[in-house]
Amino acid sequence: MTRNRYYKLISIFLILILITAGCGSRDIPVTGNEQLLSGITPENAAVVTEAVVDMFDKPDILGTRLTQVLYNQVVKVIKEESSWTNIKLLDGTSGWVKSKYISKNTDSVTDGSIDNRIIVTAKTIDIYSGVNNAVNFKKVVLGTELYSVGKTKTGYDVLLPGNKRGWVEEGGVIAIPISDNTIPKTSKDEFIQTIRKFNSTIFIMGGISRWGMDSSGLVYISSKINGVELPRNIQEMYKAGTPVDINNLQTGDLIFFSTDSLKKDVFDVGVYLGENEFAHSSTTRGVITETLEDSYFKDRVCGVRRIF
């Protein structure tokens, strides 16, 4: 056998191995940018197993809540310490969660039979153990992402962490073909409709769900399901989109506020609703509509960004 023929056979053999290894499975569902920010790989990936999980700045429930992670969300495992796990999110944010709330079995997001990415757009939906609402398995919140392996007349068969399967009604979710895997950008009107779904939600620092949220969490999760990915951190969010003069406000614009009239920091963010009104999450009253005619807010505006 000639050397060239030998190398050709070896190449074919290696290709066949790669093809075989790829059958029935697929990679972790992340974009190139998410891969860069998080460094996630199939070897260090995990998924969240509870509807909403707090992520802290240190392995202690008395630490600062940085944000929350949602059911079936993909994360990178950095290290484990006692009953805590240090994780990194796809946007690069890192923190600590209780180890019992994550699983290194990622079949619920990588199974080769997945056909659609299911995004929850209602404030909450129920996951059932089977078609026709057999048994209520878990309630999940807006922004949760599931993956389906089949469509019924009124809903979707979905994969769940822990090698489980469930079913969700088609109302309150959108389905995106896995070949696309990006949430379509909607409009500023639909963005505002999503914001309004959270009216009266209580304030929780770092929260992103209808069970409690802060202002940047409200903007982050509402923009996400409307096809605009924003940083979770308010300082980074302030750099997103296009800068706009306060005198040229349009509905859906993000209005950023400082702690005082000196405007040396970025402390809060609201979404402009029109007629000088904006929505944000007040530390004392939760998600509420306020007016820019109030000098308390008017004197603290430090910037406006347009994302739609």
Tell me: do 99 and 120 sit in the same domain. no
pLDDT at 298: 94
pLDDT at 12: 44
Q: Write the DSSP symbol of residue 247.
A: G
Helices (H) and strands (E) in the chain, counts: 7, 22
H/E element, 190: helix 188-196
* pTM attached to this predicted model: 0.87
Residue 204 to residue 275: CA distance in whole angstroms = 28
pLDDT at 3: 52
State both tokens at 180: 């696309």
Q: Write the DSSP symbol of residue 46.
A: E
Which regions in the chain score pLDDT beneath 50?
Answer: 6-7, 9-24
Other Cβ atoms closer than 10 A to 95: 25
pLDDT tens per residue, range 120-137: 999 999 999 876 657 889
**Residue with the two structure tokens 């998924």:** 47
Q: Is 45 exposed, middle or buried (0-12, 13-18, 19+ CB in 10 A)?
A: buried
Is the torsion defined by CA of 31, 37, 41, 45 positive or negative? negative
Task: Supply the range of the domain harboring residue 56.
Answer: 32-103
| Residue 8 maps to a domain | no
Q: Which of 75, 103, 131 is the C-terminal boundary of a domain?
A: 103
Residue 74 to residue 76: CA distance in whole angstroms = 7
| Residue 15 maps to a domain | no
pLDDT at 33: 84
pLDDT at 4: 53
Tell me: do 43 and 150 sit in the same domain. no
pLDDT tens per residue, range 68-91: 999 999 999 999 999 999 999 999
pLDDT at 179: 84
Contact 102, 77 (CB under 8 A): yes
CA distances from 222 to 108, 208, 227, 308 (A): 24, 9, 9, 12
| Residue 6 maps to a domain | no
Residue 208 to residue 203: CA distance in whole angstroms = 10
pLDDT at 2: 58
| Residue 57 maps to a domain | yes
| Residue 10 maps to a domain | no
| Residue 25 maps to a domain | no
Which candidate, 257, 209, 240, 259, places its Cα nearest to that of 306? 240
The most distant pair of C-alpha atoms in the chain lies apart, rounded to whole Å, by 86
State both tokens at 132: 């026709």
Q: Which of 74, 103, 132 is the C-terminal boundary of a domain?
A: 103
Looking at the structure of the chain, the number of domains it has is: 3
